[in-house]
Structure 1
Amino acid sequence: MAAAAVTPAEQGAGVARRVSLADRARYWFDTTLARGTPALVGWLALGCLVVVFPASAVLVWTDPHAPASHSGRLAAIWRLTGETLRLGGATGPLVHVLLSVLLALVALVYVSTLVGLITTGLTERLTALRRGHSTVIEQGHAVVLGWSEQVFTVVSELVAANANQRYGSVAVLADRDKTTMEEALSRKVGTTGRTRLVCRSGPPTDPDLLALTNPGEASAVLVLPQDDPSGDPEVVKTLLALRSALGEEVGPPVVAAVRDDQYRLAASIAAGPRGIVLVSDAITARLIVQSARRPGLSLVYRDLLDFAGDEFYLAFDPALTGRSFGDTLLAFATSSVVGLLRDGRPLLNPPPRTLIGPRDRLIVITRDDDTARRSDCSGLVDESVMTPWQLASARPERVLILGWNRRASLVVGQFGRYAVHGSVIAVVADRKEVTAEEVQQTGTDFAPRLTTTFRPGDVTRPETLRSLEIDSYDSIVVLGPDPLPGQQPNEADNRTLVTLLVLHLLEQENGRELPVVTEMTDDRNRTLAPISPGADVIISAKLVGLLMAQISQNRHLAAVFEELFSHTGSQVQLRPAASYVLPGCEASFATVVAAAQQRGECAIGYRCNDRATAVPDHGVRINPDKSERRRWNEHDEVVVITQD
């Protein structure tokens, strides 16, 4: 039997019938609360009376000494209620009772307001202390201005640099909550040992707030680049604020970094003669290209740039004055000589016959600033196992770039400077990121020796990569997209990880490891990537942070790194060990150094192929003892500083 239809009016009546009395009471209560503070005070008073008055009545009625009359007991209940609620509780004529209640309310308002003012004042004072508004009284400390992904690397390296110091401190000023900064640094930096971290909250572009870090007494000031690509003007403003805070004083050395080269001149002018400005995008692009052409080079730079191992220092020994630079290469057993500092200008890998002047300083790679001790190692050289020198000829290169971002044109430009006739760069990216005309334009300056091609496609799809004949390329560069406005920088790594998964699938299908260089923004994503432990992964934020920390400890290193990362001058290279010693023969590292010196190179270490995937060094050994002996095989590589 069909059910009778229910009209909308009947439905509405049913809904009305379902509204209970409790629902109506709750709705009325919520409505009164929405009227503001008076309603809240009224409900609070009513709630207290509902509890206090019955409880007072019970106490009075159960008291054997209570008055016998009802009026007396009501007066006793009123006195007890008034004392509990601080309403005086006076009895007598009505006027007397009302006045006593009025005075009690005035006293209550006064006391409550006084307590509120005191509480507010203390809260504001504690909040100001938590925000860090007091002036730092440290001396010889490092000042870090700004907050970005580099801050954790920079602070970690400064802590490591202070490890052998009796006392050190690092002051951080950023427009973030002081407690939030302290918690983040504690979580990511870990134990700081003897180094004290001091955080101050406020914009570094304000000279008055910047003065809280006491920059005039600092050993170095580091101005971090912003995570936002459009943040370079903030770096310039911070440098101007620093100059305003320091005045005309000489001041400490200043190390700053911008992303775009167009802001380098403005930042250099703002920093003044004490300042050194790095361009992070250009440095990242150079290392990507160098690592693509010489796999494993990023691991060498990571070892050279952090304070955990051996790094660059300046050394002086009067006994070496007047001797040739070539003689110094075997004059230190536990240090590697790589150049000279002459009149404030570094000369990396100068001609072996260059004489050392009395004011020259040696540029060495060593464990610490006091470990470069002279020790003749020429007796460790075995010339019988040296390989005759043969000049290697350059050959065309085929490079595949997957993805596109603001650094991609710099990467193409760096490849173009090294290219020989017949070299090819193929770009595969989404049309939303780049067009064929833009790709062609980046390679125009290097035609005809370099050909650039563009193919639109989604680099996260297997069918796109399968159609590229990946095995025909000498190197593959995976670039992540630029972060969108409001997007976290590390979110750009998501697509990179997917692309690496597809490349890993192709490796399994082909049974061959692909020569991949990957750019990432977050070092934590490196452990998630499906790549070998020794693969080249360029973390731009970490790289720039390491450079800034190194230069802050010795400003002369800025010119050293500038040359190492340039396309002219001397560079770090990985060369086959068979070019220096006979494969299968046992020889000391001093023999390798001597063989490299005959070719006009400075050998500073090696990479053992058998340990390429072993953590943490991945087979890379920088600055080994000259007396160290090992059997060299044809897959080993020697790390040298040389002209490319």
Structure 2
Amino acid sequence: MAQRRTPLAERARYWFDSTLAGGASVLVGWLALLCLAVVVPVSAVLVWTDPDAPAALPDRLAAVWRLTGETLRLGGATGAPLRVLMSVLLALVALLYVSTLVGLITTAFTERLTALRRGRSTVLERGHAVVLGWSEQVFTVVGELVAANANQRRAAVAVLADRDKTAMEEALGTKLGPAGRTRLICRSGPTTDPAVLSLTNPAAAGAVLVLPHDEPDSDADVVKTLLALRAALPDPAAGPPVIAAVRDDRYRLAASLAAGPRGVVLESDTITARLIVQAARRPGLSLVHRELLDFAGDEFYLVAEPALTGRAFGEALLSYPTSCVVGLVRGGTVLLSPPPSSALREGDVLVVVRHDDDTAALEDCAGWVEEDAMVSGAPAPARPERVLLLGWNRRAPLVVDQLRRRARPGSAVDVVTDGGEAVARQVDDADADAGTGLTVTLHRGDTTRPETLRRLDIDAYDSVVVLGRDPAPGQPADEPDNRTLVTLLLLRQLEQATRRELPVVTELVDDRNRALAPISPGADVIISGTLIGLLMAQISQNRHLAAVFEELFSAEGNGVHLRPAADYVRPDRETSFATVVAAARDRGECAIGYRRHDDASKGPHYGLRINPPKSERRRWTDRDEVVVVGAD
């Protein structure tokens, strides 16, 4: 069979491509030929069209050469061949020198710009906040620090992470918007390198926050970062307060030792499990926690009030018209909701809920109390509870443990998951540790399939907790939210079919998925990263608040609760909030707000009112709830 002849154009193109593969010398040659192919004909046209050009052909050719030499910076000398050659040689040497000089200057300038772009200069701020690490929590932490600094003349937040500086700045700017008076500074580099960590000037910082990463082994990196911070500080004992978070309680001791005496280490998984259980037992409680931890609203403060020394703690509850007293700090020990008859001692510091920078003076609010509107008597005893746990992850055993600690005899937890044998063993271990008051039962099934949920008697449960899977290696951190959203959609369908609103508590990873969740307005959504970020930001402003939050979120201590308003004041009776405070005081509790049932589905606060004025009057219903701090 005759071979097809290759067209001339293809052969020419192939030959040209082959010559280009010869290296830089070939490229220079082609560039010179291309330039001469353009410059020489154009120079000839200019000479031949010039009225003043010489008439003789040799002179015109010499003029063409001079014009070509001037254009290409080749000297353009005429005369003997040796003279022309030397002129071209000198021009090439000059061109090489200038090109090399420009290249060196450009390289040095580019390296300097690259170094600045990578964030390699040392931060010269003082009293600034340093955030080490990058995860979804960084937006919450930095955003809250910006909100906390809104009333400051000048403030700064320095973020160090092993990411591109420009990318970090763009991400923070896009997610948070304008930073107001707070200057956001990003530095790029590993947080485990003391030399790189020194770029943030941690010795002069007001607080250092170490964020956990999204990877499974992030706790070890947190410990290593804390050790690098100690190496970067001239005197770790006199350094700034350090706030860090770990997922596994096995790393808490190591992280606490590395953080030093001024360090606070939070267990994110344990705290998340406690909040999930609290919200499951009293729907709407997650809204209260978010309100108290968010700098945009009312939050906890430590206030020294010598004028109250010697007076009973119960009197202090009605001593501020626009602040709510919830406890005191005595000798470094936090006492939330102590007995009303406890006398305040010299040096005691009150724990109050108040608006940012509220400087309200003392004022006796007892005159607003209407004793005839108060309700006395013990609350109804707790009954056994049934909880449906849809899904299983590393926090699920902690959730079961928190349920066990306050479970009444006859309580039960039904777990629905399609996990393997490892999950089955974990459920069995949780059941073995639950004790006689709580029974844990495993049901096999995929929570994203309608038939799995239809087989369940949803109406028989007091609360439904939806947990996402742990992300597999290589998966995005928010991958579990996809299955969670499908499960919520199926639960929503069951709600519509049974015409009953289910008390659902949902755990999500990404705060952006809250808007996508098909849940009723004001439902409890626990976003662990956001809550831990809020906690870290609060403690960074006052490290002594760490003990307050530890008590609030502990399983055995005094926490935040939602109680029926009818347990405190007479239903359908108009009275002041001071009356509610006095009624809660008689029960050994501290009232800090309420939730209106009529507005429970209306945003943005869903009927929640924290720290209302003591003089505020309203008509209370038997479906309203009072927010109190006290024992369970």
User: What band does the TM-score fall into relative to the shorter chain?
Assistant: over 0.9
Q: Counterparts in 2 of 1:515-594, with a 5 A limit?
A: 515-594=503-582
Aligned partner of 1:610 among 598, 613, 632: 598
Report the equivalent of 2:222: 235
**What is the DSSP-based 3-state SS (H/G/I as helix, E as strand, rest coil) of the residue aligned with 1:514?**
coil
Aligned partner of 1:213 among 172, 179, 200: 200
1:117 and 2:104 are equivalent in the alignment:
yes
Report the equivalent of 2:140: 153
- Distance in structure 2 (CA, Å) of the matches to 1:371 and 1:433: 58
**What is the DSSP-based 3-state SS (H/G/I as helix, E as strand, rest coil) of the residue aligned with 1:376?**
coil
Kindly indicate whether the alpha-carbon contact (under 8 Å) linking 1:396 and 1:421 is maintained by their aligned counterparts in 2: yes
1:598 and 2:558 are equivalent in the alignment:
no
Query: How far apart are 1:151 and its partner, in Å?
Result: 0.8
1:181 and 2:180 are equivalent in the alignment:
no
Letter in 2 for 1:438: Q
Query: How far apart are 1:174 and its partner, in Å?
Result: 1.3
Report the equivalent of 1:5: none
Report the equivalent of 1:3: none
Runs of 4+ in 1 over 6 A off after TM superposition: none
CA 94–432 in structure 1, closer or farther in 2 if over 3 Å, else same: farther
Report the equivalent of 2:476: 488
Query: How far apart are 1:443 and its partner, in Å?
Result: 2.4
**What is the DSSP-based 3-state SS (H/G/I as helix, E as strand, rest coil) of the residue aligned with 1:543?**
helix
Report the equivalent of 1:457: 445
CA 314–81 in structure 1, closer or farther in 2 if over 3 Å, else same: same
Q: Counterparts in 2 of 1:224-303, with a 5 A limit?
A: 224-248=211-235, 250-303=238-291
**What is the DSSP-based 3-state SS (H/G/I as helix, E as strand, rest coil) of the residue aligned with 1:528?**
coil
- Distance in structure 2 (CA, Å) of the matches to 1:353 and 1:88: 102
CA 129–452 in structure 1, closer or farther in 2 if over 3 Å, else same: same
Kindly indicate whether the alpha-carbon contact (under 8 Å) linking 1:413 and 1:443 is maintained by their aligned counterparts in 2: no
**What is the DSSP-based 3-state SS (H/G/I as helix, E as strand, rest coil) of the residue aligned with 1:621?**
strand
CA displacement, residues 350-371 of structure 1 (integer Å, 9 cap, x when unaligned): 1111110011011000013443
Report the equivalent of 2:297: 309
CA displacement, residues 565-608 of structure 1 (integer Å, 9 cap, x when unaligned): 11011010001111111111111111111111111111110011
Q: Counterparts in 2 of 1:129-148, with a 5 A limit?
A: 129-148=116-135
- Distance in structure 2 (CA, Å) of the matches to 1:519 and 1:99: 81
User: If the length of structure 1 is used for normalisation, what is the TM-score?
Assistant: 0.95
Query: How far apart are 1:432 and its partner, in Å?
Result: 4.1
Deviates more, 1:400-409 or 1:113-122: 400-409
CA displacement, residues 14-61 of structure 1 (integer Å, 9 cap, x when unaligned): xx46x6443443333333333332332222222212211111111111
Identity of aligned residues (%): 69
**What is the DSSP-based 3-state SS (H/G/I as helix, E as strand, rest coil) of the residue aligned with 2:264?**
strand
CA displacement, residues 48-106 of structure 1 (integer Å, 9 cap, x when unaligned): 12211111111111112223233222222222112111122222333332232222222
CA 447–168 in structure 1, closer or farther in 2 if over 3 Å, else same: same
Q: Counterparts in 2 of 1:414-429, with a 5 A limit?
A: 414-429=402-417
Kindly indicate whether the alpha-carbon contact (under 8 Å) linking 2:431 and 2:441 is maintained by their aligned counterparts in 1: no
CA displacement, residues 244-273 of structure 1 (integer Å, 9 cap, x when unaligned): 111325011111111111111111000110
Report the equivalent of 1:34: 21
1:60 and 2:47 are equivalent in the alignment:
yes
Letter in 1 for 2:612: P
Kindly indicate whether the alpha-carbon contact (under 8 Å) linking 1:314 and 1:369 is maintained by their aligned counterparts in 2: no
Kindly indicate whether the alpha-carbon contact (under 8 Å) linking 2:592 and 2:610 is maintained by their aligned counterparts in 1: yes
1:389 and 2:361 are equivalent in the alignment:
no
Letter in 2 for 1:291: A
Kindly indicate whether the alpha-carbon contact (under 8 Å) linking 2:288 and 2:608 is maintained by their aligned counterparts in 1: yes
Kindly indicate whether the alpha-carbon contact (under 8 Å) linking 1:564 and 1:571 is maintained by their aligned counterparts in 2: yes
CA displacement, residues 113-146 of structure 1 (integer Å, 9 cap, x when unaligned): 1101100100111111222222211111111111
Query: How far apart are 1:562 and its partner, in Å?
Result: 0.6
1:127 and 2:114 are equivalent in the alignment:
yes
Kindly indicate whether the alpha-carbon contact (under 8 Å) linking 2:400 and 2:434 is maintained by their aligned counterparts in 1: no
Report the equivalent of 2:496: 508
Deviates more, 1:500-509 or 1:31-40: 31-40
Q: Counterparts in 2 of 1:19-98, with a 5 A limit?
A: 20-98=7-85
- Distance in structure 2 (CA, Å) of the matches to 1:464 and 1:81: 85
Kindly indicate whether the alpha-carbon contact (under 8 Å) linking 2:409 and 2:436 is maintained by their aligned counterparts in 1: yes
Kindly indicate whether the alpha-carbon contact (under 8 Å) linking 1:573 and 1:640 is maintained by their aligned counterparts in 2: yes
- Distance in structure 2 (CA, Å) of the matches to 1:387 and 1:28: 99
- Distance in structure 1 (CA, Å) of the matches to 2:576 and 2:367: 11
1:352 and 2:340 are equivalent in the alignment:
yes
**What is the DSSP-based 3-state SS (H/G/I as helix, E as strand, rest coil) of the residue aligned with 1:609?**
coil
CA 66–134 in structure 1, closer or farther in 2 if over 3 Å, else same: same
Aligned partner of 1:375 among 351, 363, 370: 363
1:339 and 2:337 are equivalent in the alignment:
no
Kindly indicate whether the alpha-carbon contact (under 8 Å) linking 1:313 and 1:369 is maintained by their aligned counterparts in 2: no
Letter in 2 for 1:52: V
Report the equivalent of 2:316: 328
Letter in 1 for 2:88: V
- Distance in structure 2 (CA, Å) of the matches to 1:638 and 1:421: 27
Kindly indicate whether the alpha-carbon contact (under 8 Å) linking 2:282 and 2:561 is maintained by their aligned counterparts in 1: yes
Kindly indicate whether the alpha-carbon contact (under 8 Å) linking 2:392 and 2:423 is maintained by their aligned counterparts in 1: no
Deviates more, 1:31-40 or 1:233-242: 31-40
Letter in 1 for 2:105: I
Aligned partner of 1:435 among 389, 414, 423: 423
Kindly indicate whether the alpha-carbon contact (under 8 Å) linking 1:315 and 1:372 is maintained by their aligned counterparts in 2: no
Letter in 2 for 1:381: V
Gaps of 5+ in 1: 1-8
- Distance in structure 2 (CA, Å) of the matches to 1:334 and 1:442: 45
**What is the DSSP-based 3-state SS (H/G/I as helix, E as strand, rest coil) of the residue aligned with 1:363?**
strand
- Distance in structure 2 (CA, Å) of the matches to 1:465 and 1:35: 69
- Distance in structure 1 (CA, Å) of the matches to 2:507 and 2:421: 16
Gaps of 5+ in 2: none
CA 433–298 in structure 1, closer or farther in 2 if over 3 Å, else same: farther
Deviates more, 1:303-312 or 1:449-458: 449-458
- Distance in structure 1 (CA, Å) of the matches to 2:421 and 2:616: 51
Letter in 2 for 1:471: D
- Distance in structure 2 (CA, Å) of the matches to 1:70 and 1:600: 115
- Distance in structure 1 (CA, Å) of the matches to 2:36 and 2:228: 61
- Distance in structure 1 (CA, Å) of the matches to 2:32 and 2:413: 80
CA 468–39 in structure 1, closer or farther in 2 if over 3 Å, else same: farther
Aligned partner of 2:389 among 377, 401, 408: 401
**What is the DSSP-based 3-state SS (H/G/I as helix, E as strand, rest coil) of the residue aligned with 1:169?**
strand
Report the equivalent of 1:6: none
CA 405–36 in structure 1, closer or farther in 2 if over 3 Å, else same: farther
- Distance in structure 1 (CA, Å) of the matches to 2:425 and 2:473: 25
Kindly indicate whether the alpha-carbon contact (under 8 Å) linking 2:132 and 2:208 is maintained by their aligned counterparts in 1: yes
User: If the length of structure 2 is used for normalisation, what is the TM-score?
Assistant: 0.97
Kindly indicate whether the alpha-carbon contact (under 8 Å) linking 1:141 and 1:169 is maintained by their aligned counterparts in 2: yes
Kindly indicate whether the alpha-carbon contact (under 8 Å) linking 1:404 and 1:434 is maintained by their aligned counterparts in 2: no
Kindly indicate whether the alpha-carbon contact (under 8 Å) linking 1:171 and 1:198 is maintained by their aligned counterparts in 2: yes
